[in-house]
Structure 1
């Protein structure tokens, strides 16, 4: 059964999201390891993705951990430096699908403020036909409720959705609801999945600047 809507995750599918790499470059790997061990940055970020104010959350965490005050504030002041690089092949796949008239949606864990920043920086994030952003709905993947929100909005049944995400638990949650889903580990693998699904030809799915023949 051919999918009718392709659903993209964003972080580590279309753009890199590795805060540890950012901090490695700024404070060094050793200090970064101590920072992440002592400060619950991931839990804070999940609250932001679930709709909390990034500025408020970051400032509260900085006050609670004064030894890391300046480093924690970077999560807000330098957040844009943490989202890179653009995964060009994935962006090309998104645009190839749109060029063929295939509806392309997003299902992403993103804060309200951070998604707005990302949209301003990466124009392709404005190309989706529909984006289900966790911060707006105050629930994050892999909670089944966010998948249900997309299903309620989609004009097709779950088995006609094809979803790509870099996290295995998010993929498993989609499959449990009857979606077709791909665990994204590389754009080449995602390209092959789209070809296998009959949505793109090998030439259309080839990485920019390569010859698929």
Structure 2
């Protein structure tokens, strides 16, 4: 069946989300390893992605880890230095689809307050036809409810949606609803998938 919309995850698809790497670059690998052993960054971010307040959640986490307060507060005060850089080939694919007139949506686990910070830094994040931001929705992947909410809002048959995400659990949840899926492991594979579905030519996907 024809693909009626292409749905992108954002973190590690369009912009890098590798906080361990970013901290290793600034405070050194050993201290960064100790930091991420002392607190669960992904648990903190899951709360934010599910709708908890960005600044308040980070401040609360920092207070709970007094030996690492300054480092943890960097997630609040230096967000755009951590959630970066862009993945250029993926951005080109997004824009190539738009140039073809193919609807593109974002479906991302992202906080309601920090998504605008990233969108200001990377304006291509504003170029989607529809945005499904977990922190705004109060739902988080891979909860089936978030996929159902997308289906209700866009009113497109599930089997006409093509979704890419870097997490296997998010992909499995989408596939279980009948979505076409691609587990993102780099933009070259995603480009090949889009060509295979007849959405872009090889030149457009380069």
- Please give the TM-score of this superposition, normalised by the length of structure 1: 0.94
Which residue number in structure 1 is paired with residue 90 of structure 2? 90
| Preserved CA contact (<8 Å) 1:106 1:132 | yes
Rounded to whole Å, the distance in 1 between the matches of 2:203 and 2:26 is: 40
Rounded to whole Å, the distance in 2 between the matches of 1:92 and 1:30 is: 36
Which residue number in structure 2 is paired with residue 211 of structure 1? none
| Paired residue secondary structure (2:113) | helix
Q: Is the counterpart of residue 153 in structure 1 residue 153 in structure 2? A: yes
Correspondence list, 1:36-47, <5 A: 36-47=36-47
Stretch deviating more after TM superposition (144-153 or 33-42): 33-42
1:26 Cα deviation from its structure 2 partner: 1.8
| Preserved CA contact (<8 Å) 1:2 1:198 | no
Rounded to whole Å, the distance in 1 between the matches of 2:123 and 2:35 is: 33
Which residue number in structure 2 is paired with residue 172 of structure 1? 172
1:31 Cα deviation from its structure 2 partner: 1.4
1:2 Cα deviation from its structure 2 partner: 2.0
Rounded to whole Å, the distance in 1 between the matches of 2:171 and 2:72 is: 30
1:86 Cα deviation from its structure 2 partner: 1.0
| Paired residue secondary structure (1:131) | strand
1:40 Cα deviation from its structure 2 partner: 2.3
Rounded to whole Å, the distance in 1 between the matches of 2:10 and 2:40 is: 23
> Gaps (5+ residues) in structure 1?
207-213
| Preserved CA contact (<8 Å) 1:151 1:157 | yes
Rounded to whole Å, the distance in 2 between the matches of 1:64 and 1:85 is: 29
1:155 Cα deviation from its structure 2 partner: 2.7
Which residue number in structure 1 is paired with residue 72 of structure 2? 72
- Please give the TM-score of this superposition, normalised by the length of structure 2: 0.98
Rounded to whole Å, the distance in 2 between the matches of 1:139 and 1:27 is: 34
Q: Is the counterpart of residue 195 in structure 1 residue 192 in structure 2? A: no
Stretch deviating more after TM superposition (121-130 or 33-42): 33-42
Correspondence list, 1:1-213, <5 A: 1-206=1-206
| Paired residue secondary structure (2:106) | strand
- How many residues in Structure 1 have an aligned counterpart in Structure 2? 206
| Paired residue secondary structure (1:124) | helix
Stretch deviating more after TM superposition (33-42 or 178-187): 33-42
